[in-house]
Copies of this chain bind each other. A is one copy, B any other.
Amino acid sequence: MTSDITLDEEGGSGRAPRGTGRRLHGAIAHKLGAAIVSGEYQPGDRLESEIAFSETLNVSRSAYREAVQVLTAKGLVESRPKAGTRVLPRNRWNLLDPDVLAWSFSGEADMEFIRNLFELRAIVEPAAARLAAERRDRADLKAMKAALGAMRQHSLATEAGRTADRDFHTAILQATRNDALITLSASIGAAVNWTTQFKQRSRALPRNPIPDHVRVYDAIALGDADAASEAMRQLVALALEDTRSSMA
């Protein structure tokens, strides 16, 4: 028997069996992962047995098991012989894993969690800007300047505009020369931009983001660490305010 289940997520035109480039076990992991982070399965809950669950999904046991391995790798579940597969308590989850973040935002957004992410961002990003001001070289500044120019041309409502925004922040991170910091900030930034995209949809954002970004750039270019940190602090604070107002 061949798989006859759609397993499509992000509800929409459910025509294709699954998006191209997406493997079956990946789709299962996404489906289960989203169900867990959304609270559909509670910590401590036991999943059906492998045989039963894979039959329910109309997939082979191998495909299902590979999906569970992914969830296990991200700390969402734990499997033991005879005991079955159980959802782990939330403090075991790798909340900052890019996939887990994506799953968290694939359903309804948990405002409390978003606040926590912004709080973390407000801690990390200003510090990153500070390091960037101390360590940037000519190539870093060039990249930032180019991204800034692109941001001026395209609105944040367009895909090109959001890409430019991402590029600007990425350039700052690269200048910190700290891989751990880069990984962390990139994950948080991506997740937060989920909400930005959402925010734009409610089209109540006339504020021009360029001046905030220019202040950050100028401080980094001057090598003024304190000013860079402060400018970034403001930028994050304003972003949180925008997000908050667009959701209230």
Contact = CB atoms under 8 A, between A and B. Distances in A.
Contacts of A66: 65-66, 69
Contact of A181 (B74, B93, B120, B182): B120
Interface stretch (A48-56, A95-103, A146-154, A158-166): A95-103
A116 B178 contact: yes
Interface centre among A65, A95, A123, A180 (most CB of B within 10 A): A180
Interface string A48-87: 0000000000000010011001101111000000000000
Interface residues of A, number: 37
Interface in A110-126: 113, 116-117, 119-120, 123-124
A185 to B, nearest CB: 10
Given A73-B74, A124-B123, A95 B180 contact: yes
Contacts of A117: 180
A240 to B, nearest CB: 14
A183 B188 CA distance: 13
A119 B179 CA distance: 11
A184 interface: yes
Interface in A8-45: 25, 29
Contacts of A96: 96, 180, 183-184
